[in-house]
Amino acid sequence: MANLKVKFLGKEFKNPIIPASGCFGFGYEFAELYDINILGSISCKGTTLAPRYGNPLPRIAECKAGLINSIGLQNPGVDKVISEELVKLAKVYKDQVIINVGGHSIMEYTETVKRFNGNDQVFGIELNISCPNVDGGGMAFGIDPATAYDLVSQVRRVCKKPLIVKLSPNVTDIVSMAKAVEAAGADAISLINTLVGMRINLRNGEPIISVKKGGYSGPGVFPVALRMVYEVSHNVSIPVIGMGGVTNAYEVLEMMYAGASLVMIGAQNLIDPYACKKIIEELPSVMQEYGIVNLEDIIGRTK
Ligand code: SIN
C-alpha cells in the first residue's frame, strides 16, 4: 500500500502535490471540475497589499515546451483576498493553504504578510521574491543575496506563520541566494519561479508580450528546475519545495529524489486543469513500479 504522506514544517500533508501560485487561481475555481480536497495544499494566486490590474495585454506567448507569461501580479489586494477569495475557498477546501505574497517595497511585503498572522486557514506564507513581471519589486529582491537577506529578515520579524521563500532561477549562483534567505530566517525554500524569456511576432518584428519579456515555464524548464532543487537542497538545512515543468508522477519522484519535500505543479494546470488530480491518482502505481512504499523515504536520496 503506497504511503503518500509527507511531513513538512511540522504539518502532515496527505500527499506532496500542490498547485503552484498563479496557475490555479484561488483554488475554488477548480472545485467545479473535481473535489480539490484531494490536493496536499494550494498555493494561492500572488497577493499584494493593494489591488493590481496587471500588465497590458498581450501577456501570454506560447512556446514549444511551455509558455511565457507577464501577468504582472494581477490580484484584488490583500483585504479582498481575505474577505472574499479565502471565504469562497473555505467552502470547498477544508485543509490549510499557502499564501504567495508579492510586493514592490519592504513595507508592502511586511504589511501584507502581517494580515495573515491570525488566519487559521493559512498554513504558511510563500514570499515571492522572484516575479520577473513587475518593475522595481518582485525579482529585484531575489537576484542579489544581500537584498534578499534584508527583505527576508524584516519579513521574518513580523511573520508568525511558516515562511517559505520562492527563489528566482535568473541568477548565476542559486546556492548563495538559498543560503542568504536561510540565514535571514526562512523556514523553507520553494523553487523555481519562471525564467525570463521573450518571443517576437514575425508579422511586425515586435515582441509578442506587451512589456517585451515575461517568465517562461512549462516542461522545457524541468531539467533546470531539478538541478536547482538538487543543488539547493544539498546545501541548506531547511526543507525545499520543488517546482518547474513537472507534468507527471515520474517527474514528481525525480523532484523528491533531488530533495523536494513537496512538489508544486504550475503550467501543466493550464494545459490540463485535471493535471494535479491525475498526478495524485498515478503516484501509487508509479511508486510501486520503482519499489517505493513510503514517498517520504526518497526525499533527497540522490547523492
Ligand atoms: C505574475 O503575476 O506576473 C506571475 C507571478 C510570478 O511570476 O511570480
95-139 pLDDT, tens digit each? 999 999 999 999 999 999 999 999 999 999 999 999 998 887 888
Task: Give the CA-trace dihedral at 282, 285, 290, 292, to 10 degrees.
Answer: 90
Pocket test for ligand 1, best of 44, 98, 100, 133 (most atoms within 8 A of CB): 133
- Closest ligand 1 atom, CA of 128? 8
Q: Identify residue 215 by its one-letter amino acid code.
A: G
Assess whether pLDDT exceeds 90 at residue 223. yes
The set of cell numbers assigned to 122 is: 493559512
Measured from the CB, is residue 215 less than 6 Å from ligand 1? yes
Reference 133, options 58, 199, 211; nearest CA is 211
Query: pTM value?
Result: 0.98
Assess whether pLDDT exceeds 90 at residue 19. yes
In a domain, 61, yes or no: no
Measured from the CB, is residue 218 less than 6 Å from ligand 1? no
* Number of domains within the chain: 1
In a domain, 109, yes or no: yes
Say what the pLDDT of residue 16 is.
98
Assess whether pLDDT exceeds 90 at residue 40. yes
In a domain, 150, yes or no: yes
**To which H or E segment does residue 125 belong?**
strand 122-128
Cα 21 to middle of ligand 1, angstroms: 8
Q: How far is CA 296 from CA 88, 111, 162, 242, in A?
A: 32, 35, 20, 14
Say what the pLDDT of residue 138 is.
85
Assess whether pLDDT exceeds 90 at residue 145. yes
Percent of the chain with pLDDT over 90: 96
Adjacent-strand bridge partners of 101: 47, 127
Cα 11 to middle of ligand 1, angstroms: 27
CA distance 179 to 171: 14
Say what the pLDDT of residue 137 is.
80
Assess whether pLDDT exceeds 90 at residue 162. yes
In a domain, 93, yes or no: yes
- The catalytic residue positions are 131
The Cα diameter of the chain in Å comes to: 57
In a domain, 227, yes or no: yes
- Closest ligand 1 atom, CA of 131? 8
Say what the pLDDT of residue 133 is.
86
Cα 2 to middle of ligand 1, angstroms: 35
pLDDT tens digits, one per residue of 173-217: 999 999 999 999 999 999 999 999 999 999 999 999 999 999 999
The CATH number assigned to the domain holding 159 equals: 3.20.20.70
Strands (E), 237-302: 240-243, 260-265
Cα 168 to middle of ligand 1, angstroms: 11
Say what the pLDDT of residue 136 is.
79
Measured from the CB, is residue 168 less than 6 Å from ligand 1? no
For residue 229, which phi and psi values (nearest 5 degrees)?
A: -60, -45
Measured from the CB, is residue 131 less than 6 Å from ligand 1? yes
In a domain, 211, yes or no: no
Q: How far is CA 75 from CA 25, 50, 164, 241, 247, in A?
A: 10, 8, 20, 23, 26
Measured from the CB, is residue 72 less than 6 Å from ligand 1? yes
What does the pLDDT average to over 277-289? 98
In a domain, 248, yes or no: yes
Cα 71 to middle of ligand 1, angstroms: 6
Measured from the CB, is residue 207 less than 6 Å from ligand 1? no
Grade residue 44 by pLDDT with cuts at 50, 70 and 90: very high
Measured from the CB, is residue 190 less than 6 Å from ligand 1? no
152 near 186, Cβ under 8 Å?
yes
In a domain, 45, yes or no: yes
Find the domain containing 15 and state its range. Answer: 6-56+74-195+217-298
Assess whether pLDDT exceeds 90 at residue 219. yes
Assess whether pLDDT exceeds 90 at residue 85. yes
Q: Identify residue 153 by its one-letter amino acid code.
A: S
Assess whether pLDDT exceeds 90 at residue 251. yes
